């Protein structure tokens, strides 16, 4: 499985800096980060981030990001549930962008 190791390390740092305990597993074509046994984030190949957020926030998060930066997540040809968002590498290229999405995932 190919993942973006640099992004994975940045996610680890973001979780560590927030005092969050996590576990890691490979699934969904990503290296996923679990908090309290629930998947919250996934580092994907190419620098994309899989984010599991509160479904009540999904529409607002997508609208604020714009379709070039975030879209409903898909697994193969199917769209995943409305709590999953695929975030583009550009949207998490800097620490502020990554922090935004990490915080959204942790609010779940």
Domain boundaries, the chain: 5-106
Q: How do residues 69-93 score in pLDDT, each as one tens digit? A: 999 988 777 777 789 999 999 999 9
The CATH number, out of the four listed (3.40.50.720, 3.90.1150.30, 3.40.190.10, 1.20.210.10), of the domain defined by the range 5-106: 3.90.1150.30
Residue 85 CA to residue 88 CA, distance in Å, equals: 10
Predicted confidence at residue 80, as pLDDT, reads 78
Q: Report the alpha-carbon angle 57-55-94, nearest 5.
A: 55
Confirm if 105 and 40 have CB atoms less than 8 A apart: yes
User: What is the three-class DSSP state of 2?
Assistant: coil
The more confidently predicted of residues 3 and 105 is 105
Q: How confident is the model at residue 1 (pLDDT cuts 50, 70, 90)?
A: low
User: What is the three-class DSSP state of 36?
Assistant: coil
Quote the pTM value: 0.92
Q: How do residues 21-79 score in pLDDT, each as one tens digit? A: 999 999 877 899 999 999 999 999 889 999 999 999 999 999 999 999 999 988 777 77
Residue 106 CA to residue 108 CA, distance in Å, equals: 5
């Amino acid at each position: 499985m190919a993942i973006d190791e640099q992004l994975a390390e940045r996610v680890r740092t973001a979780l560590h800096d927030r005092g969050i305990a996590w576990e890691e597993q490979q699934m969904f074509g990503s290296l996923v980060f679990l908090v309290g046994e629930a998947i919250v984030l996934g580092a994907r190949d190419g620098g994309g981030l899989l984010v599991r957020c509160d479904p009540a926030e999904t529409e607002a998060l997508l609208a604020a990001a714009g379709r070039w930066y975030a879209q409903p997540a898909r697994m193969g040809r199917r769209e995943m549930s409305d709590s999953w968002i695929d975030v583009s590498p550009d949207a998490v290229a800097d620490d502020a962008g990554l922090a935004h999405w990490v915080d959204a995932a942790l609010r779940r």
